[in-house]
Chain A
Amino acid sequence: MDDALRIDDLVKEYPIGSGRRRSIVRAVDGVSLRVRRGETLALVGESGSGKTTTALCALALERPTSGEVWIDGREVTGMSPKELRSLRRQAQYIFQDPFASLNPRMSVREIVREPLDIHRVGDSAGRDARVAELLGLVGLAGDAAARSPHQFSGGQRQRIGIARALALSPGLLVCDEPVSALDVSVQAQVINLLMDLQDEHDLAYLFIAHDLAVVRQIAHRVAVMYLGRIVEEGAADEICAKPRHPYTVALMSAAPARPGRGVHRERIVLTGDPPSPIDPPSGCAFHTRCWKAADTCRTVRPPLIELDPGHAVACHFPVRRDTELG
C-alpha cells in the first residue's frame, strides 16, 4: 500500500541578503520521512529546526530546492497547477495561529465552504449541508455558520480551521503546531478532537510540535529535527522511554510536565541557544550544546543509523539509557 506521505532527501534553501552580502540558508538539509495511512508522525524541533519548512514543502506550499515528495503514491514535485489542485483534495494544512489563518472578512460558512466552492463539489444546497455537517463534526453549534471568526475564541477558531481542512475528506492532514497558540485548558480539547477524527476517518497526520509531552499523546512515530536534519526517529513510546540522541534527552528533560508523578526525571539543562541556520556549526550541528561532544563531533557529521529496529539516531555517541540516566 502507498504511504499517505513520503519525503525523500528534501532540501530547501532560501537566499538571504542582497548584493555582495547575499548568501544561502539551508533551512531543510536532506530530510526523508514517511507517514503511513491512518498514522501520526510527529515532527519535533525548536525554532530554526526546519520543521515548518518541511511541512510547507510537503504540501507544495513551498517549492523544494531538491528532493522528492510523494502523496498517495503520486509525485508532487513538478506537478502542473491543475494536478496540484486535485492534490489539494488529498492533503490539507492546519495552521498554528487560529487568528491569522481565517479570513476576518468572511463568515464561518464562507470559510468552511471555500474548499467545496473551489473544487465545485455538489450544488449550493449540498455544500451548505456539508458545512453544517462539518461544523457538527468538530463540535461547533449549527448557528456558528452565520457568524464571523472574530466572535469565536482561539479554540473554537482552531475547530473552524479543522472543519475547513476536512471539507474535501483528505487522507492527510499536516498540522503545524495546532495547539501551541491555545489556552492550556483548551489544548487538550483540540488534541482529543484530532485523535477522534483520526479514528473515524482513518486520517494520516504529519504533526509539527515543539512539545514532546503533547507528541507522546498523539503520535505513533516521532522524528526529532535539529537545524534542518532529522537527528532521531522512532516509535513515540520508544523515543519517550529510551531517547538515544542527547538532544532528544534534553528536549524531554525540558518539557513541562506534571511533577510529582512517576519516576523523577534527570534534569538536563542545555547551555546556549539553538544555533542559527545561517551559520551552522561544523560536523554534528548539536556539538556546540552537547555535553557528550568529542573531537569527532566537531568535524564529522554523524549519519542517521538504525540502532534498533525502527529506531534511528544520528549521533556518534548515542545515549545508553540503562547506564547513563536513571
Chain B
Amino acid sequence: MDQLVVSDLVVEFARAGHRVPVVRGVSFTLERGRRVAVVGESGSGKSVTALAVTRLLPPTASIRSGSISLDGSDLLGLPERSMEDIRGGRVAMVFQDALTALDPLFTIEQQIQAVLDRHAPRASRQARHDECLELMRAVGISDPERRLRAYPHELSGGMRQRALIATALAGDPEVLIADEPTTALDVTVQAQIVDLLRRLSDERGMAVILITHDLGVVADFADRVVVMYAGRIVEDAPADELFESPAHPYSAALLDSLPSLDGPRMRRLPSIGGAPPDPAALPAGCSFAPRCARATGECDSEPVLVTIGARRVACHHAGTA
C-alpha cells in the first residue's frame, strides 16, 4: 500500500529576480516499509525533493504546484503546527553532516530526549532514559550509558552519524529520509551506516528514502531506485532490474562510470561528456540530450515518463534499445 505519494511536484528557487525550477514535475510513491534510493548529481533536485516532503525548504524556495500526501492526507495543505507533529514524528530526517545537524551545546541524551518530549511526552523519567538507551543500542553504539552523556564533538564521525540516526528514531517514524548520510564518512564506515539503515528498516517496518549521488552505495540497500537528472525523474526501477539493465542512457552511463573491482581492467573508463546543466539554463527538450550518445532529432521534445513493465523511464529511445 502506498504510504507516501508525491505527485507532479514543482519547486522553484528565487534567484536574481527569476524563478529557477529545480524540481520539475516529480512523481513517485513509497510503499510502507520499503526502501527507495533517490540518485542524482548536483543540481538534480534530489535533496530539494526530500526537503519538500518535510516542508523544510529554505526561504528562497517555494513549491509551485503538485501534492504530497502521507497515508492519504495532504501534507502541503497542513498548518505549520500540524506539520511540526509530523516532522520528527511520522517522518524523520537524517542529514549528511552529523556534526552540524547535532546541537554542540547539548549531550546526545538531551537531544534524543527533546524528540521524545515532543512526540511522547507522558512517559516517566526512568522510562525515557531507558528509551534513550534502547535507541542507542538499536543504532549499534556500544557503552550507551557513557555515550549518552557525551557531547557531539566527543564522538567520532561514524558514531555521530549513528547518534543522529538515534535522534531521528526517537519519534518512531514511519518514514525516514536520509540525505547523503554516508558522504562525509570514511569508506569502511559508510558500509556500516548503510547496513544499519537497512537493519532498522527491516526491524521496525520503517520506510526509508535514501538520497545519494553514489550508485555504489545503493546496490545492497534499496528495493527501488529513482534516478533524477536536472529536476526530473529519468528512471524509476526495481534495484536489481536497474543494475541488470538500465533503460535510460543516463542511468546506464552512471553505472558504466562506476569503476569495477573485478572483471577486466579497462584502459579508458567509459565517461559522459560535459557536465550537469545549470537549472537556470536548461537545454530545450530532453535535458540529457546534449550529453547523450543516443540523442536524435526526436530528443528536441521533452520525453514523458512512461511505464514499461515494473519501471518508469523518460526517454524516447527506451524499449527500442
A and B touch in the complex (CB under 8 A): yes
Identify which of A184, A253, A272 gathers the most chain B CB atoms within 10 Å of its CB. Answer: A184
List A212-245 residues whose CB lies under 8 Å from chain B.
212-214, 216-217, 237, 240
Q: Given A256-B216, A259-B243, answer yes or no on A188-B187 (Cβ-Cβ < 8 Å).
A: no
Of B214, B257, B262, B271, the contact of A261 (CB 8 Å cutoff): B262
Query: How far apart are the CA atoms of A185 and B271 in the complex, in Å?
Result: 7
Query: How far apart are the CA atoms of A237 and B187 in the complex, in Å?
Result: 20
Q: B215 — which chain A residues lie within 8 A by C-beta?
A: 184, 256, 258
Contact A251 B270 (CB under 8 A): no
B105 to chain A, nearest CB (A): 23
B279-303 vs A, Cβ < 8 Å mask (1 yes, 0 no): 0000000000001000000000000
List B261-278 residues whose CB lies under 8 Å from chain A.
261-263, 265-273, 275-276
Query: How far apart are the CA atoms of A153 and B240 in the complex, in Å?
Result: 32
B153 to chain A, nearest CB (A): 13
B300-321 vs A, Cβ < 8 Å mask (1 yes, 0 no): 0000000000000000000000
Of B186, B195, B219, B275, the contact of A46 (CB 8 Å cutoff): B186
Of B158, B258, B261, the contact of A265 (CB 8 Å cutoff): B261
Q: A263 — which chain B residues lie within 8 A by C-beta?
A: 262
Q: A254 — which chain B residues lie within 8 A by C-beta?
A: 187-188, 190-191
A interface, size bucket: 35 or more
Contact B272 A258 (CB under 8 A): no
Decide yes or no whether B213 CB sits under 8 A from chain A: yes
Query: How far apart are the CA atoms of A187 and B192 in the complex, in Å?
Result: 25
Q: B267 — which chain A residues lie within 8 A by C-beta?
A: 195
Q: B256 — which chain A residues lie within 8 A by C-beta?
A: 258
Q: Given A186-B275, A255-B216, A273-B157, answer yes or no on A213-B260 (Cβ-Cβ < 8 Å).
A: yes
Decide yes or no whether A257 CB sits under 8 A from chain B: yes
Contact A156 B275 (CB under 8 A): yes
Identify which of B187, B191, B195, B291 gathers the most chain A CB atoms within 10 Å of its CB. Answer: B187
Which residue on chain A has the smallest CB distance to residue B277?
A153
B31 to chain A, nearest CB (A): 23
Q: Given A259-B219, A262-B263, A265-B262, answer yes or no on A185-B269 (Cβ-Cβ < 8 Å).
A: no
A190-203 vs B, Cβ < 8 Å mask (1 yes, 0 no): 01100100000000
Contact B275 A258 (CB under 8 A): no
Query: How far apart are the CA atoms of A240 and B263 in the complex, in Å?
Result: 11
Decide yes or no whether A189 CB sits under 8 A from chain B: yes
Contact A183 B187 (CB under 8 A): no
Query: How far apart are the CA atoms of A254 and B261 in the complex, in Å?
Result: 11
Decide yes or no whether B156 CB sits under 8 A from chain A: yes
Query: How far apart are the CA atoms of A68 and B77 in the complex, in Å?
Result: 68
Of A47, A156, A187, A274, the contact of B257 (CB 8 Å cutoff): A187
Decide yes or no whether B255 CB sits under 8 A from chain A: yes
Q: B216 — which chain A residues lie within 8 A by C-beta?
A: 213, 255-258
Decide yes or no whether B83 CB sits under 8 A from chain A: no
Which residue on chain B has the smallest CB distance to residue A155?
B275
Q: B223 — which chain A residues lie within 8 A by C-beta?
A: none
B146 to chain A, nearest CB (A): 15
Query: How far apart are the CA atoms of A186 and B273 in the complex, in Å?
Result: 7
Q: B266 — which chain A residues lie within 8 A by C-beta?
A: 217
List B190-241 residues whose CB lies under 8 Å from chain A.
190-192, 195, 213-217, 219-220, 240
Q: B273 — which chain A residues lie within 8 A by C-beta?
A: 189
B interface, size bucket: 35 or more
Decide yes or no whether B253 CB sits under 8 A from chain A: yes
Which residue on chain A has the smallest CB distance to residue B268?
A192
Decide yes or no whether A323 CB sits under 8 A from chain B: no
Of A185, A256, A276, the contact of B217 (CB 8 Å cutoff): A256
Identify which of B190, B216, B261, B269 gathers the most chain A CB atoms within 10 Å of its CB. Answer: B261
Contact B253 A185 (CB under 8 A): yes
Which residue on chain A has the smallest CB distance to residue B39?
A184
Q: B121 — which chain A residues lie within 8 A by C-beta?
A: none
Contact B192 A260 (CB under 8 A): no
Decide yes or no whether B8 CB sits under 8 A from chain A: no
Decide yes or no whether B53 CB sits under 8 A from chain A: no
Q: A213 — which chain B residues lie within 8 A by C-beta?
A: 216, 258-261
Query: How far apart are the CA atoms of A255 and B215 in the complex, in Å?
Result: 11
Query: How far apart are the CA atoms of A256 and B256 in the complex, in Å?
Result: 13
Contact B262 A262 (CB under 8 A): yes
Query: How far apart are the CA atoms of A1 and B218 in the complex, in Å?
Result: 47
Identify which of B220, B244, B276 gathers the most chain A CB atoms within 10 Å of its CB. Answer: B276
Q: Given A184-B214, A184-B215, answer yes or no on A216-B188 (Cβ-Cβ < 8 Å).
A: no
Q: B272 — which chain A residues lie within 8 A by C-beta?
A: 185-186, 188-189
Decide yes or no whether A18 CB sits under 8 A from chain B: no
Decide yes or no whether A271 CB sits under 8 A from chain B: yes
Contact B261 A274 (CB under 8 A): no
Query: How far apart are the CA atoms of A259 and B225 in the complex, in Å?
Result: 14
A256 to chain B, nearest CB (A): 2
Q: Given A216-B259, A250-B188, answer yes or no on A259-B265 (Cβ-Cβ < 8 Å).
A: no
Question: What are the 10 closest A-B residue pairs judged by CB atoms, nearest first?
Answer: A256-B216, A188-B271, A262-B262, A213-B259, A259-B219, A46-B186, A188-B269, A273-B156, A153-B275, A188-B257
Give 19 A-B pairs besides A191-B271, A260-B243 with Cβ atoms closer than 8 angstroms. A47-B157, A183-B213, A183-B275, A183-B276, A184-B257, A185-B275, A188-B270, A213-B258, A216-B265, A256-B215, A256-B216, A256-B217, A257-B258, A258-B255, A258-B258, A260-B219, A260-B244, A262-B263, A270-B192
- Name 28 A/B residue pairs within 8 A (Cβ), A-sorted: A47-B157, A154-B42, A183-B213, A184-B214, A184-B258, A185-B257, A185-B276, A185-B291, A186-B271, A188-B269, A192-B269, A192-B271, A213-B216, A213-B261, A217-B269, A254-B188, A254-B191, A255-B261, A256-B216, A257-B216, A257-B259, A267-B191, A269-B188, A269-B195, A270-B191, A272-B158, A274-B186, A276-B156
Residues of A within 8 A of B (CB): 46-47, 153-156, 183-189, 191-192, 195, 210-214, 216-217, 237, 240, 250-263, 265, 267, 269-274, 276, 289
